[in-house]
Amino acid sequence: MNTTERQANTSKTLVAAFYAFCPLDDNQREALLADLPTLAADGGVVGSVLIAIEGVNGTISGPKIDVDQLLARIQEALNSAEKPEEPLEVKRSWAEKPVFRRFKARRKKEIVTMGVESVDPRSSAGTYVDPDDWNALVDDPDTLIIDTRNSYETAIGSFEGAIDPGTESFRDFPAWADTGLRALVQERAPKRIAMFCTGGIRCEKASSYLQDNGFGEVHHLRGGVLKYLETVPEADSRWHGECFVFDQRVALNHRLEPGEHSICHACGLPLSPEQRDHPTTIKGVQCVHCVDRFSDADRERFAMRQRQMEQQKQDEGTD
């Protein structure tokens, strides 16, 4: 019994993170944009789905039967697309309650924004590595491990020995690869590069960029950190810390349960218990990351919003 199956015994809300690089024509995209909000409203599903020419990317939560129905509708669109065998890459976990406030389906230029139009993971990508095979790959000293996530994500958890590019946005990855990564490869002469991200989509697109730019043997973790945590027993894990997620849970531990980090509602960055207790932190107003970032007017506005949020919680009878 894996982590997801164990959680299902005690929790009622399914959280599904998914993506697929699969070309969708105008009619397929418009049909999804029309159908998904209705399905979500009928089934009490909340979350966010991005739809572009290159495919679909999203995270949703709700009752299992309704989440599965929405995923099936997306898979139906993929099955009628140019590459009918292309499946959704889905990572499942469970929560005590929905992890979004509403549902949104949005039209985008890219399902994950790199800003390099020539990159196409369907025509050029690295070698997929299943979670069960990941440890052997990263334990090899001839493997250079790259974390393709943003710096605020890497700060709270990563794999042993992984290189942090220090990027603030995935758009920054190509420039870092052309300078920082190329220098690392020249210095260390690794036999291969292994990359990972939260759910697999960023490292898959990054692997395509590296393949197109002569970086040699490139591998990426299928399903990302979430699939690894779902699959690999904690006792055998090479993961340290928590995994940042883009929903109300903020970060997950190895059991795919909400971790100890919370979010600063001023700047949107994760806070550890120590950072929450720091003298400069004022809940909802400022934190150690943003104490010098905003004006007094901004902080007053944040304080008013925090009071409104706390009043709403009291009215709803929640913590």
- Residue whose tokens read 């706390």: 310
Residue 219, H or E segment: strand 218-221
Indicate if 264 belongs to the active site: no
Measured CA distances, 139 to 55, 130, 161 (Å) = 33, 15, 9
- Residue whose tokens read 């139009």: 117
Catalytic option among 197, 203, 287, 290: 197
Cα 79 versus chain centre, distance: 24
Phi, psi (degrees; rounded to nearest 5) at 144: -95, 115
Within 13 Å, how many C-alpha atoms sit on residue 38's CB side?
Answer: 6
Residue 296, H or E segment: helix 296-316
- The Cα–Cα gap between 271 and 140 comes to 33
CA angle 147, 152, 154 (to 5 degrees): 30
- The Cα–Cα gap between 305 and 300 comes to 9
- The pair of structure tokens assigned to 245 is 């997620």
Catalytic residues: 197
